[in-house]
């Protein structure tokens, strides 16, 4: 009777562990869910890529050109940039992320993300005016939306996913459901062709 009871207990434990693992996996893979206004790329994509990026990160900015070129050449990528800030270590970065998601409310997420990745921006009054003029943003609405709870939640969600996936450093890419690529320094920046090879490798993981 004792062994029968033990075997039942072990079975229940295995079921519990299985359910917990499934729930954890389900939570982790919510990283691929994003509102349409915060998604870039092809409507008929066959590969989804999530990138965690820090606007002040030199490697993130260096990688932007070859990655974007490879994505355009491939033509079948659904791309979800998830900018993080970690304000304590990177003062001023939260403001840039809030601005990006506030701009999404005006249909300008991609343009704003690209602007921050390719320009050194000082967010004083002149900087805001230049950015709004360049991207065609309503500046009053932009600043109001930056204070909204859903915009602040977007940054918190990005940082939560970054920690749950234990990625440790940016830039980091989740490609499809099984490929993770981390770039740790500017010495490791892939070329456009190397990125295309990474896309194909990610597609081949089943």
Q: What is the pLDDT of residues 142-170, one digit of tens each?
A: 999 999 999 999 999 999 999 999 998 89
pLDDT at 22 over 70: no
Q: Is 115 helix (H, G, I), strand (E, B) or coil?
A: helix
Measured from the Cβ of residue 90, the count of other Cβ atoms closer than 10 Å reads 15
Enter the tokens of residue 94: 């939260």
How far apart are the C-alpha atoms of 154 and 174, rounded to whole Å?
18
- Tokens read off for 157: 């969600």
Which conformational region is residue 84 in: left (phi greater than 0), alpha (psi within -120 to 50 degrees), or beta? Answer: beta
pLDDT greater than 50 at residue 20 = no
Non-local (6+) Cβ contacts of 188 within 8 A are: 59
Nearest alpha-carbon partner for 82 in 3, 157, 183: 157
Burial class from Cβ neighbours inside 10 Å (0-12, 13-18, 19+) for residue 69 reads: middle
State residue 25's pLDDT score: 56
Note the pLDDT tens digit of each residue in 32-61. 999 999 999 988 899 999 999 999 999 999
Taking a C-beta distance cutoff of 8 angstroms, is the pair 167, 183 a contact? no
State the average pLDDT over residues 87-96: 94
> Residue 122: helix, strand or coil by DSSP?
coil
Kindly state the average pLDDT of the residues 191-201: 94
Residue found under tokens 């805001």: 128
Q: What is the DSSP letter of 52?
A: E
Q: Enter the tokens of residue 199.
A: 């896309």
Specify the pLDDT at position 206.
Answer: 53
Phi and psi, residue 170, nearest 5°: -110, 150
Which one, of 140, 159, 83, lies nearest residue 116 by Cα? 83
Q: Give residue-wise pLDDT tens across range 57-83.
A: 999 999 999 999 999 999 999 999 999
> Cα–Cα distance between 12 and 90 in angstroms, integer?
46
pTM (predicted TM-score): 0.85
Task: Find residue 40's DSSP bridge partners.
Answer: 79
């Amino acid at each position: 009777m004792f062994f029968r009871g033990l075997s039942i207990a072990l079975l229940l434990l295995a079921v519990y562990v299985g359910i917990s693992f499934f729930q954890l996996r389900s939570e982790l893979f919510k990283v691929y869910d994003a509102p349409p206004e915060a998604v870039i790329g092809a409507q008929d994509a066959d590969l989804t890529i999530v990138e965690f990026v820090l606007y002040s990160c030199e490697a993130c900015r260096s990688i932007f050109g070859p990655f974007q070129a490879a994505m355009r050449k491939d033509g079948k990528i659904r791309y979800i940039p998830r900018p993080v800030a970690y304000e304590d270590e990177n003062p001023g970065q939260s403001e840039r992320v809030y601005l990006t998601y506030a701009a999404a409310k005006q249909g300008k997420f991609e343009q704003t993300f690209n602007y921050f990745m390719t320009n050194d921006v000082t967010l004083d009054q002149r900087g805001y005016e230049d950015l709004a003029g360049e991207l065609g943003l309503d500046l009053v609405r932009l600043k109001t939306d930056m204070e909204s709870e859903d915009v602040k939640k977007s940054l918190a969600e990005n940082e939560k996913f970054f920690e749950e996936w234990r990625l440790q450093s940016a830039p980091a890419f989740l490609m499809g459901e099984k490929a993770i690529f981390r770039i740790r320094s500017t010495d490791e920046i892939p070329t456009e062709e190397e990125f295309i090879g990474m896309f194909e490798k990610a597609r081949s993981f089943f």
